[in-house]
Chains A and B, each alone.
Chain A
Amino acid sequence: MADNVNIQESPPEVQFAGVNRWLRENLFSSTGSAILTFVSIGALIGLFRSIIGFFISPEREWTAITYNLRLYMVQAYPESDFIRVWITIGLVMGLLGLTWGFNSVNEKSSLKSTGTTLMKVFSSLFLLVLIAPTSVVIDKVEGTVVDVFQQELRIYLLAVLAGLILVSYFIRTKLASQEVSKDYLNIGYVGLLVVSIWLIKVPTVTFDSSNVRIEPDPLLPLAASTKNPWTALYLLLVVTFFIGRYLNSKNLTSFKRILPVSWLLTPLVVVTWIYRKPDFTLSQITTLDLPVILGFSAIGYLVINYLNSEKLMQYQRYFVYGSLIIAVVVFSLPVLRQLKLLFFLLWILISVAPTIANSKESARSLFIVWSVAITILILLMRGGTSETLIVVPGSSIYGGFALTWVLAFFGIAISFPFGVMLALGRTSSLPIIRIICTAIIELVRSVPFITWLFFGSVMLTFFLPAGVEFDEVVRAVVVTSIFSAAYLAENVRGGLQSISKGQFEAADAVGLSTLQRISLIVMPQALRAVIPPIVSQVISLFKDTSLVAIVGLFDLLYIGSKVIPNQSQGANFLGTIQENILFCAIFYWIFTYSFARRSMKIEKRLGLGER
């Protein structure tokens, strides 16, 4: 570009008029405000002192969390199969790196703002160390006081922090004109986290050969047993980030379509194959799955290429009805679940193929999509329907954060399309569809979530025919997603109502079909308008997953609030409820806050709220 002047619109910088004046104007403008300032500073110091005192009190057993991290993450998943957990995290990390790199816009950030951020962080830490209490009261009745914070340690920490503040001040002033890529900065921040798990040492519960706890707890790195995998995962993230950026520079548009599909497919592969460790033999795949895949690919090929020939076109209706009847008949027969599903898919293919596959190219791509889709589907079903080889003492291989994750992801992934369909159905002009959708929404919303969970867990057994059993987690996922879909439907309906009638009429005027009108005109606008309530719904679903504890599944919060505070064997963690609840709260906060930040970015990109 010739006129590369880089005119960046930035607001004029507010001149800082000196500390004295700022203080006088904002804190000490009158006698009353001066008193108020002193009182609130005193109250804040007192509050923070007691919070810090709570954290560093010898009464707190933070080892209850570090010792039970495994329980928190995967509950009873056997150690010999941990590689599967790491592969799962690795897949997510790799995808994350690819997506991050591929969508990177190479934003630059001046070192001045970085320096300011660092200065803020270190100054706050400096203040906290300065006001931290020297001793805390551990027995309120007796009034026993214990020293928790030695003066030497305080001075040492203050000196270190003061040095760091000086360094950040130097960055802020001397290197202010330097510019760095925001991506590299973020990689650096994550790298700091990884370095810290190698360097920071914390008291760790260990047992000697005769199973007696070693006192006092020896100091070991933060992630003593998992620091190697985490480092490898970090390297994977960095490598995939650069791969993603390379692919972006090559302008691979097809990759743009693959990424979202992989994000949807990865969790399915994880739950059916990786985490589950299915018990299957190679002969099952060669004698069962391969013929089915080949056979249905062949049938699909015939349908796609010959159904829209002139001779057969007139019988199209009969083919559709015929295949539906076959699908229903097959469904009621005691055959493989794969076949039941495939005949239904075939019915859908027969219904849509003549309209989609109207040219040679589109016929070819439809055939490829069909073959790949059924191959993936059959293989996923093979994994998902086989017995699992993972042996756990409980009835479910999912527990802790793994369970929370599965419930949240599949709850969101299933409830979103389902909710949109319910919303469309409720606004439909066809009375039967409208009544059914309204009934589902109102019925689901009018009963508490816990009641539905109970229904799914305990009462469903009485309604289902004998011998039909669903996994407890599957039941919980179904209940969660239906419940969430009902609320989502109402959010989306709000968005639908915000679209003016003119949009519908305009779509009709240019001759769009109903499907095109909804997918091209209505939905993009309606969903855009309701991003904030949808994100709220996602966050509340994520937190609601903790309610599955009521049906005997051990999710993150249940482990923190009930399981660990009741451990008396081995290391005794009886009554460590405050520490564990706090840990869970922080854990949930990290995830919900990330959702919120992410959605804020999306809103910004779409320019919401600026019209």
Chain B
Amino acid sequence: MNKKSIVYLLVFALVAVACATEAAEEEVTVEDEHDHESTLEQVQERGFLKCGVSGSAVAFSETQADGSVTGIDADYCYAVAAAIFGDYSKVEFTALTAAERFTALSAGEVDLLVRNTTWTQSRDTELGNDFGPTTYYDGQQLMGRNSDGLSASSTLKDIDGLRVCTNAGTTTEKNITEGARLAGAAIELVTVEAFPEAMEKFKAGECDLVTTDGSGLVGNRAKEGALNDWAIFPASPISKEPLGPVYRSNDSQWADIVNWTVYATFIADEYGVGRANVDSFDYDANPEMGRLMGKNDGELQTVMGLSADAFYNVIKQVGNYDEIYSKNLNPVGLYREGSANAPWTEGGLIYAPPAR
């Protein structure tokens, strides 16, 4: 090979690489600064909602055999996606542990955190988070055997001298210790690492009572088929555990979207509008529902940055509060009647401001 061909080869190489670089220009995306963008803009640009859930919490966010995510928490992620995109499936779930959930939210790894998280003052004020409307009112209760003379109407006074199993080092342990002391009951505390162990000990008769959040107790009682053998008490729980969505502070547009998505499910429940009758409902007779579903002009939704029929999509694709609740929580034996999760008209706490 002579000098000429070397030069040709070199020129060819440079031209080829230059061509590739030219063609690559659109591929190399210079990342925009996302700092000043609102959460809604980020989500819309990305095309899907990043939602932080547990992925392994009974009835709240379960992973099914085919890998899909279900549960009341998951359904509220689907609902927010339906409100933003008109397509409930535009959600990417991130499974978060209890320890990393708030860090993941503030680092921007998720847009919304719906991970059976209790709303407390410190979490609300110290961690840079805001809490949305409570979607499930939970509370710590105890479960004991009817054969020990316990019933649903028992109180903390009745547990005097009994052995209580609970997981160590949690607020659950603190609550029961404080509660028993206030009631003047002397209890023997048996602490274990995790709640399933406490349940095993209870079944084996190594303790007389177990305690955790009421939803967990009901689920376990249903699982063991011991509805008539085990009693859950006291009727008003010994702690307040309001669970709901969490988002980053200082983004009121995003907060409004999440809050009103939740409220829309409450209001639709109030009027009895569900997945089945959302199309056939008489909106002219009920102007509030009409406004919410975008049947008139939907201005209320458009000023929030959503489409006029945003909440129509929520009800159509995900359902109202009662449907979400029944689908996920009835199978584990949790019913709305008589609980704090009943509608406000029936003595519960599920209440939404009017849509007007």
* B-binding residues in A (CB < 8 A): 67-68, 70-71, 74-77, 79, 139-141, 284, 287-289, 291-292, 294-296, 298-299, 301-302, 305-306, 334-336, 339, 392-395, 399, 454, 457-458, 461-462, 466-468, 549-554, 558-559, 562-563, 565-572, 574-575, 577
Q: Is B332 an interface residue (CB 8 A)?
A: yes
Q: In the complex, which residues of chain B have a beta carbon less than 8 angstroms from the beta carbon of A139?
A: 203
Docked pose: A494 CA to B69 CA in angstroms: 48
Chain B residues close to A by CB (< 8 Å): 1, 6, 9-10, 12-17, 19-21, 23-24, 27-28, 30-35, 50, 55-59, 62-71, 91-97, 99-100, 103-104, 107-109, 196, 199, 203-205, 219-220, 222-224, 328, 331-332
8 of the cross-chain contacts (CB-CB < 8 Å) are: A70-B65, A71-B63, A291-B17, A295-B17, A296-B17, A554-B95, A565-B196, A575-B220
CB distance from A545 to the nearest CB of B (A): 16
Least distance between B192 CB and chain A CB atoms (Å) = 13
Known A295-B14, A335-B21; further 20 A-B contacts with Cβ < 8 A: A70-B66, A71-B66, A75-B67, A76-B68, A287-B23, A296-B17, A302-B13, A306-B6, A393-B67, A394-B93, A458-B103, A458-B104, A461-B107, A550-B99, A552-B96, A554-B55, A554-B63, A559-B63, A566-B58, A569-B331
Of the candidates A79, A288, A392, A574, which one forms a contact with B58 in the assembled complex, judged by CB atoms under 8 Å apart?
Answer: A574
Measured between beta carbons, the chain A residues less than 8 angstroms from B65 are: 67-68, 70-71, 567, 570-571
Contact A563 B31, beta carbon cutoff 8 Å = no
B17 touches A292 (CB 8 A): yes
Nearest Cβ distance between residue A62 and chain B, in whole angstroms? 14
What chain B residues lie within 8 Å of A74 (beta carbons)? 67
Contacts of A284 in B (CB 8 A): 27
Contact of A393 among B68, B204, B222 (CB under 8 A): B68
Q: Which residues of A contact B27 (CB under 8 A)?
A: 284, 288, 336
In the complex, what distance in Å separates the CA atom of A141 from the CA atom of B224?
14
Bound CA span A563–B60, Å: 12
Task: Contact check, A563 vs B55: say whether CB atoms are below 8 A apart.
Answer: yes
Which residue of chain A has the shortest Cβ distance to B52 in the bound complex? A552
A334 cross-chain contacts in B, Cβ below 8 A: 28, 30
Q: Measured between alpha carbons, how far is A551 from B94 in the docked complex, in Å? A: 10
Counting residue pairs across A and B whose Cβ atoms lie within 8 Å, the total is: 184
Q: Are A395 and B50 in contact (CB under 8 A)?
A: yes
**Contact across chains for B23 and A552 when beta carbons are under 8 A apart:** no
In the complex, what distance in Å separates the CA atom of A218 from the CA atom of B62? 26
Which chain B residues lie closer than 8 Å to A395 at the CB level? 50, 92-94
Q: Which residues from chain A contact B30 at a C-beta distance below 8 Å? A: 334
Q: Which of A553, A565, A569, A574 contacts B64 (CB 8 A)?
A: A569
Using A288-B27, A562-B56, A572-B223 as known contacts, say yes or no to A295 and B94 having CB atoms under 8 A apart. no
Q: Are A295 and B104 in contact (CB under 8 A)?
A: no
Given contacts A295-B13, A395-B93, contact A141 B204 (CB under 8 A): yes
Instruction: Tell me if B28 and A335 are in contact (CB < 8 A).
Output: yes
Closest Cβ of chain B to A66, distance in Å, is: 10
Residues of A with C-beta under 8 A to B94: 394-395, 552
Q: When chains A and B are docked, how far (Å) is the Cα of A462 from the Cα of B100?
A: 14
B295 to chain A, nearest CB (A): 32
Let me know if B69 and A140 touch, CB within 8 A: no
In Å, the complex CA distance between A554 and B328 comes to 22
User: Cβ of B19: which chain A residues have Cβ within 8 Å of it?
Assistant: 287, 291
CA of A302 to CA of B27, assembled, Å: 29
Interchain nearest-CB distance for B56 vs A (Å) = 4
CA distance in complex: A554, B93 (Å): 12
Please tell me if the beta carbons of B100 and A454 are within 8 angstroms of each other in the complex: yes
Please tell me if the beta carbons of B63 and A563 are within 8 angstroms of each other in the complex: yes
In the complex the two chains form, is A572's CB within 8 Å of B331's CB? yes
